[in-house]
Chain A
Amino acid sequence: SKFTHHGRSSPQVRSGTDTNDYYFPSCVSHVTLEASSVVLIAVIGDEDTCTGFLLGGIGELNKNRKPNFLVVEKDTSITEIEETFKSFLARSDIGIILINQFIAEMIRHAIDAHMQSIPAVLEIPSKEHPYDASKDSILRRAKGMFSAEDFR
């Protein structure tokens, strides 16, 4: 597999600075955390996927905050992908994480372990790997509820 873990970080991966301060995006005028909140969409994908979604206007990148996207290339390590995914989960300003399904397969254990409803994880196809509903974590969880006992 071309995505084997080499134990080193890729210089090609676009990631932000090391600050841990998270601020709400500038388009937010007010935030109520209990009933509703205004959040961003994050994306973990190959170059074309990230280019497309950034063209759509979801990207955020500035000196103060870490970016809300990760461009996964051939030499991106699985550790880096997993760390980025976990950092997106930990951020309170990310509501939806879009991830190519072939990348989701690499960190399937981390995605399956995520049981909260926010952020929502959406698996999307990539150019070389079409969407497979049988691999989708959400659908597997929904399908898994049907067991022989339930139909007694």
Chain B
Amino acid sequence: MGLDPVSVNLDQKLLEFMDQLELLEEKRQRLNSLIEEGWFNISKARYSMGNKQVSALQFASEIEPQICVHSSLSEKGNVEFKCERTEPKTEELEPSGTVENIGPKEGGLRRRTKIKQKETTVEETSKCEKESQDSIKSEKSPCQHQDPLKWFGILVPQNLKQAQAAFKEVITLSAEIATLQSAILATRMEMQTQMKEKHKIQSVLEG
């Protein structure tokens, strides 16, 4: 009978479709709970830092994306998304061997141990000049891939870091869900094609 292979195929597709829907439901629940956790942590950070300290006003004027998504067409015709993350380059803040790059009037850490001042003052001033030149250069060149956490300050509360971690996981999950959605729609199209074929065979058999 011509109907049997088509029916078997349809049944397999339906089971695959149901499995995909179930997996999508699980990932969705995980995504929603992670997003809520992220918002909760952002709200906690806002409570400790102040309303205006954690808002869209803090976004940098130039932002480089740290996540790329590789999209590829699979054999079945659906799109697969995979996240790739580039680690942010931390600015080099090497502690200098000198003390004098921060003036006594400004706040800052100072070395408490006494250095032989007569011998090292000349060296220190020359080092200071070089370091100030370097720091000026680093300020002028835009810092690529800066951690977005630094928009909100140098010392941010733990809650903001937790929010960032939650949203990073959300982003990875989003790529998986987008892949699943594409697969679900592709399975649906295949099922519709199979269904039409089945109706054709049925009409041929009846006719």
Contacts and interface: CB of A to CB of B under 8 A. Distances in A.
Interface of A: 14, 25-28, 35-41, 47-63, 67-68, 71, 95-96, 98, 117-118, 120, 122, 124-125, 127, 130-131, 133, 138, 141-142, 145, 150
Given A53-B167, A141-B188, A145-B191, A120 B67 contact: no
Interface in B160-179: 160, 163-164, 166-168, 170-171, 174-175, 177-178
Contacts of B94: none
A126 B107 CA distance: 43
Nearest to A63: B62
A58 B65 contact: yes
Interface residues of B, number: 61
A122 B69 contact: no
Contacts of A67: 63
Contacts of B36: 125
Contacts of A50: 56
A53 to B, nearest CB: 6
Contacts of A124: 31-32, 35
Contact of A58 (B67, B70, B182): B67
A28 B68 contact: yes
A74 to B, nearest CB: 13
Interface stretch (B72-80, B98-106, B108-116, B132-140): B72-80
A57 B163 contact: no
Closest 6 CB pairs of A and B: A57-B66, A56-B167, A36-B72, A120-B178, A61-B63, A59-B63
Contacts of A38: 68-71, 84
A131 B63 contact: no
B81 A96 contact: yes
B60 A120 contact: no
A49 B38 CA distance: 9
Given A26-B64, A52-B38, A52-B42, A117 B78 contact: yes
A118 B79 contact: yes
Contacts of B28: 131, 133
A10 to B, nearest CB: 12
B200 interface: no
A68 B168 CA distance: 17
A138 to B, nearest CB: 5
Contacts of B167: 52-53, 55-56
A113 to B, nearest CB: 15
A67 B79 CA distance: 24
Contacts of A133: 25, 28
